[in-house]
Amino acid sequence: MKICIFGAGAIGGMIGSLLKRNGIEVTLIARGNHYAEIKKNGLVFKSKEYDLDICQRFDVHQDITNIGKFDLVINGLKAHSANQTAEHVSQLLHKNSIIIPTLNGIPWWFFYKFEGKYKNYKIQSVDPDQLQWKHFNPSRVIGSVVYPAAIIKKPGTIVHIEGKRLILGEPDSYKSDRVEKLSKLFFSSGIKAPVSKNIRSDIWLKLIGNSSFNPLSIITKTTLKDICENEETRNIVFNMMTEANKIAQNLNIPIKLDIEKRIEGAKQVGDHKTSTLQDFEEKKPLELNALIKSLVEIGKLTNTKIPTINTIFQLSKYIAVKNNCYVE
């Protein structure tokens, strides 16, 4: 199987390193100093959890012109970049190519094959011009929920922080041959990739945390532990999670959620800055559209009252715009 990772950042680089170590042919698409370092010296992957400190040579490119077609494209770009590069990435696909988007938040294909009146609804906040729907075709998609944490320590070096779990699932929850095959491939490479019985439920379960903690973290400029220990911010998180859960109920998406346990779990992570706060401090574009604007949109779609989510979205957007890191 020919695999391309488009966006070999922290998570893409981690997945690529583990697949390559397992003898699988992997092509990386990277940019800037990260690309230059990988091209010159290879990609370093360090992980205490995997007990690895390795450097591997890759076929790596900045320009995808004439690099061929791939059986699997793992799109490691964040939501705003994925939308902007959809036509570009489509050049890597042949008739039967599979796409696995690994972005946080609500994916553009979320309502593909959805049961009910919202079937094939196109989410404006994550795919405003339907470029991904048009250029990728949702029938190619296998959904994912990514739990590992990793960082680019410096150009050409990925450091794995924690986690090995990456859930896979067909949009219609069917256990297809292709998703089973990919699950086995990932497991054999050290990535725990179970096949979901309901990928939308798994996406929503992670989203409930990210849509609450991440936007709030750029408003408060504090860590998960701080947010959870302060009574006022803890109550805000509780209300946001409750509202997000109500949207899921109105969509008939089953969610097994104990909100207090979820907040306590985040507290135990300790003095950890959310990825959104880290991006904010580095003046990078933020994933607010996929993480929370999408919830605002779907809340309106389902006539769900979500006053806390609406308020936190507006406040976080205001701060992001003021600091030039909001992407429409």
- DSSP letters for 26-39: EEEE--HHHHHHHH
Residue type, 61: H
Show the beta-strand stretches assigned E in 127-214.
143-146, 149-154, 157-162, 166-169
CA distance 11 to 127: 22
Q: Are 180 and 257 in contact (CB under 8 A)?
A: no
Which one is catalytic: 69, 206, 225, 273?
206
Structure tokens, 229: 């220990």
User: Three-class SS of residue 159?
Assistant: strand
What's the one-letter identity of residue 63? D
What are 2's two structure tokens? Answer: 């020919």
Phi, psi of 280, rounded to the nearest 5 degrees:
-60, -45
Q: Which residue bears the tokens 């907040």? A: 263
List the end-to-end C-alpha distance of the chain, in Å, as a whole number: 36
SS3 232: helix
Length of the chain: 328
Catalytic annotation present for 206: yes
The two structure tokens encoding residue 285: 């574009």
Calpha distance 176→313 (Å, rounded)? 37
Phi, psi of 229 (to 5 degrees): -85, -25
CB 147 within 8 A of CB 192: no
Six-digit token string for 163: 């986690």
- Catalytic positions are 206
